[in-house]
Amino acid sequence: MGLKMDKKILSLFVLVAISATAHCGNVYDITKFGARQNNDVNQALAQAWKGACSSKVPSKVVVPKGTFKLSRATFFGPCKAPIEFMLIGTLQAPQNPAGFKDGDGWVTFERIDKLTLYGGGTFDGQGKNVWGKHCDRLNYCSKLPINVRFNFVTNSVIKSVTSLDSKQFHIMVLGGEGLTFRNLRIIAPENSYNTDGIHVGRSNNINITDSYIQTGDDCISVGDGTKKLTVARVTCGPGHGISIGSLGKYSNEAPVQGITVKDCTFKGTQNGVRIKTWPDSHEGVASDMRFENLNMLNVGSPVLIDQEYCPWNQCKLQNPSRVKLSKISFKNIRGTASTPDAVKLVCSKGYPCQNVEVGNIDIKYSGNLGPVKSVCRNVNLKVTGKMNPLPCKFKA
């Protein structure tokens, strides 16, 4: 009996050893390709990615502990098997943004299926030297690099990493499907321009959960063509809140549909949850949007539909927005506002909002600008449950 047991244990050890050896053979540590701390590791990363992506079995690229400078990197697929990118240390962007074009990513993942990005490390965009210098509130910083772009990435998980001080948007998702973002930390100061935390556009079935986002712009922004997006258990602040839009600025924008924001907390943000469209806009559609179980702490406009979105007065407000909004609900929202307009639903006079529901809202305001109130224009409104402030009675 003892001999048989010893043979079983020995066989188990052999299997474990073989498994470990095989696994180690598929790990591509960038230091094995010449990467050194405080040097540009672009070439080492490219070689490690090439090896891992061409492997017929699941493989892993590793950025170990330490700080590694990176001029820029693009990781192309498709890969031959599922692939991991384990960021333990810090990748640090150049301070000078020269050489980037409109919409470029500093780090870009493109056309990859079954990517897992994780490790507890940091993408450090080093944006402090460019905010307010290369652009300002009147000029969009299009030539500043986005920290991390995911272009046409599918069935993938991005978790447990930090995006720090991006020069422009922290994370942009374009053409994605089946993506989960979990346990992220996105950090930039309140005075950093255009540093949206996560921007999602033309993507389907995206989940953003259990994350902490503080920026100088929207914590999460949703562009046209986004469908089946769920945001849950996200803490936002400072920043401009979570925004659908802005929509209607460009022709042929795809519909936005199936957006859920729930169980989130907003701390000192300019807005809470917001839908924004341009006046004098192109045609567009956004529908099936739910905002529920939200906690507002000293938020400027906790609940907001703004179809007269016109930053810096650069639009023709006399011409109504042509983006049609419908099937929208704001429920179980509580907390405090820093302005009296706690619920503000300003819809288009040309295309009034349809099937909007508010219910169980309790938002207090203790400032000296008057009582807390609801403001409504051009909205077909249904009220359920208790309401503080008192609901608007207006119907389009």
Residue whose entry in the numeric block shows the structure tokens 């529920």: 292
CA 11, chain centre distance (Å): 48
Residues sharing a CB contact under 8 Å with residue 280, sequence separation 6 or more, in sequence order: 315, 316, 317, 318, 319, 320, 321
Beta-carbon contacts of 189 under 8 Å, excluding residues fewer than 6 positions away, are 214, 216, 238
Assign residue 314 a region (left: φ > 0; alpha: ψ between -120 and 50; beta: otherwise). Answer: alpha
Q: Which of 387, 386, 390 is nearest to 371 (CA)?
A: 390
Number of residues that make up the chain:
396
Chain centre to alpha carbon of residue 129: 23
Rounded Cα distance, 59 and 108, in Å = 19
Calculate the alpha carbon distances from 202 to 151, 152, 172 in Å. Answer: 10, 10, 11
- Rounded Cα distance between 322 and 281, Å, is 6
Q: Please give the C-alpha separations between residue 295 and each of 36, 141, 267, in angstroms, as whole numbers.
A: 45, 31, 9
* Active site annotation includes 240: yes
Structural tokens at position 80:
């031959």
Q: Contact at 8 Å (CB) between 323 and 307?
A: yes
Q: Which residue in the list 134, 199, 240, 282 is annotated as catalytic?
A: 240
Q: H helices of 62-178, where?
A: none
CA 127, distance to chain mean position in Å, is: 18
> Cα–Cα distance between 272 and 244 in angstroms, integer?
11
Task: Let me know the angle formed at the C-alpha of 84 by 78 and 87, rounded to the nearest 5 degrees.
Answer: 125
Q: How far apart are CA 360 and CA 354, in angstroms?
A: 20
**DSSP secondary structure letter of residue 43:** H
Catalytic positions, written as ranges: 240
